[in-house]
A = this chain, B = another copy of it.
Amino acid sequence: MTGSQTACSIEKSRAFVKTFPIEPIDSGLLDGLAFAVKDLIDVSGQKTGCGNPDWSETHPEAVANAVCVDQLLASGARCVGKTITDELAFGLDGENFFWGTPLNPRAGDRVPGGSSSGSASAVACGIVDFALGTDTGGSVRVPASNCGIYGFRPTHGFVSVAGVNPLAPSFDTVGILAADPDILTKAASILLGTRGVEQIELGKVHVLREAFETSDPAVREALAEPVKLIRDLSSSRAAEISLKDIDIDCSRDGLRGWYETYCLVQWAEIWSCLGSWVDDVKPQFGPKVTVNFQLVKTLDRKTIPEAVRRRESYFRALKNFLGPNDLICIPTAPTPAPKKGSLGVDRTVDTYFQRTLSLTAIAGIGRLPQVTLPLALVDGVPIGISLLAAQGMDSFLLSAARMLAAKA
């Protein structure tokens, strides 16, 4: 089984803010491929709306492409338009108060996931070969899981974010969504600047127990077969591990400690990046984003040094644990896409956000690359299985993901 596309028109997908053709500026590895760009990323001649009408109104048209967009155009790909994002990329659901909810073609009554909602939808609907998203706390990985496609979050800092609106720079990345792992790999190699496919000699595969325990029983069951395939990849060198095998300190509070550490640093950064604009413009937000910005605004900033220390110590523990050719295996999300309209307004109360972020925070805190693969269904609804690799081992990770996809 591989990521499938459901043929669907642009109108039906409701994935786009705007469509327009931009031809490639040179020929290369991506000749003939079409891509879409999340409306958090600059495309020359277009306003970057960031999912909020007041943002559009208070910012000029972009006069340059983001570097990542130029990398693709200069490698033969053509751009077809800009896709809906959660407001300011601050969401995991994909229900934009102003722009609506892009179609999840694999489950029409469920959310596509966010914040790269339109990019996931455009790929899953077969409109483009791949799409650019951004991923701070899961914004590529979660919609890819929800929509049954592949999603790649690179090592932090390894893909240019120039021309991409910041949310929380210590975690912000530009990622890719695609239905075909070969296309995912090609587009990633252009953004990463790597040459050709990495020869792969797999080290250990660590299946993280707490990540599976956090997930729905039905998700664990659905992922049993992909996990078996992953274990088979490395024969006897796959093993279930627990957080305490990584490090005692970082296991004390379970994945909740990872979630909390991630949130504190992220919230501090979001208010530093966007607070001045919010305070100056007093924009209209949807209900969930209103609550989100209250949270980040009222954070006690005395807590920042300890949060950064904790992030550093978790990062260091993972770095010391994970061999250069090792992989970590976790569910991408603890549950398939929630029903539309079912998610609570307050993310500190709604357990969906806590459970999901406790999984996505691992790559964020560890600065690790992650690929989610669409290898399972729960009652016909997609759920992703994820592989993470060591910092900078992006090409290796993508090779492992392709190998796995070929066996699935």
- Cross-chain pairs A/B with CB under 8 angstroms, 27 sampled: A25-B301, A25-B302, A60-B280, A61-B276, A61-B280, A63-B278, A63-B279, A64-B272, A64-B276, A65-B272, A67-B268, A67-B269, A71-B304, A74-B301, A156-B157, A157-B157, A157-B170, A160-B170, A160-B265, A160-B308, A162-B170, A162-B268, A162-B273, A163-B272, A163-B273, A192-B312, A194-B312
Assembled-state Cα–Cα distance A279/B61 (Å): 9
* A309, CB-defined interface residue at 8 Å: yes
* A193, CB-defined interface residue at 8 Å: yes
Assembled-state Cα–Cα distance A62/B273 (Å): 10
* A38, CB-defined interface residue at 8 Å: no
The reply to whether B305 and A74 contact each other, CB–CB distance below 8 Å, is yes
* A234, CB-defined interface residue at 8 Å: no
The reply to whether B60 and A276 contact each other, CB–CB distance below 8 Å, is yes
- Known: A163-B272, A271-B64. Contact between A70 and B301, CB under 8 A? yes
Assembled-state Cα–Cα distance A72/B178 (Å): 42
Instruction: Please give 14 more A-B residue pairs, beta carbons under 8 A apart, in addition to A63-B276, A63-B280.
Output: A25-B302, A28-B305, A59-B276, A60-B280, A62-B275, A67-B268, A67-B269, A67-B272, A74-B302, A160-B269, A162-B169, A162-B269, A193-B310, A195-B313
Q: Which B-chain residue is minimally distant from A47 (CB atoms)?
A: B276
Per-residue contact bits, chain A 147-165, to B (CB 8 Å; 1 contact, 0 not): 0000000001100111100
* A75, CB-defined interface residue at 8 Å: yes
- Known: A169-B160, A170-B162, A269-B162. Contact between A277 and B60, CB under 8 A? yes
Assembled-state Cα–Cα distance A233/B272 (Å): 42
Q: Which B-chain residue is minimally distant from A307 (CB atoms)?
A: B193
Assembled-state Cα–Cα distance A163/B311 (Å): 19
- B-chain residues with CB within 8 Å of residue A191 when the two chains form the complex: 308
Interface hits, A344-388 → B, CB 8 Å: 367
Q: Which of A64, A70, A310, A392 has the most CB of B within 10 A?
A: A64
Assembled-state Cα–Cα distance A168/B63 (Å): 16
The one of B63, B157, B275, B276 in contact with A275, judged by C-beta atoms closer than 8 angstroms, is B63
The reply to whether B162 and A168 contact each other, CB–CB distance below 8 Å, is yes
The reply to whether B272 and A42 contact each other, CB–CB distance below 8 Å, is yes
* A405, CB-defined interface residue at 8 Å: no
- B-chain residues with CB within 8 Å of residue A162 when the two chains form the complex: 166, 168-170, 268-270, 272-273
Q: Which B-chain residue is minimally distant from A312 (CB atoms)?
A: B193
Q: Which of A59, A63, A305 has the most CB of B within 10 A?
A: A305
Q: Which B-chain residue is minimally distant from A60 (CB atoms)?
A: B280
- Known: A156-B157, A157-B156, A392-B319. Contact between A276 and B25, CB under 8 A? no
The reply to whether B301 and A193 contact each other, CB–CB distance below 8 Å, is no
- B-chain residues with CB within 8 Å of residue A28 when the two chains form the complex: 305
* A66, CB-defined interface residue at 8 Å: yes
Assembled-state Cα–Cα distance A187/B300 (Å): 21
- B-chain residues with CB within 8 Å of residue A302 when the two chains form the complex: 25-26, 74
Assembled-state Cα–Cα distance A304/B166 (Å): 22
Assembled-state Cα–Cα distance A203/B151 (Å): 39
Interface hits, A44-92 → B, CB 8 Å: 59-67, 70-71, 74-75
The reply to whether A272 and B312 contact each other, CB–CB distance below 8 Å, is no
* A190, CB-defined interface residue at 8 Å: yes
Assembled-state Cα–Cα distance A156/B159 (Å): 13
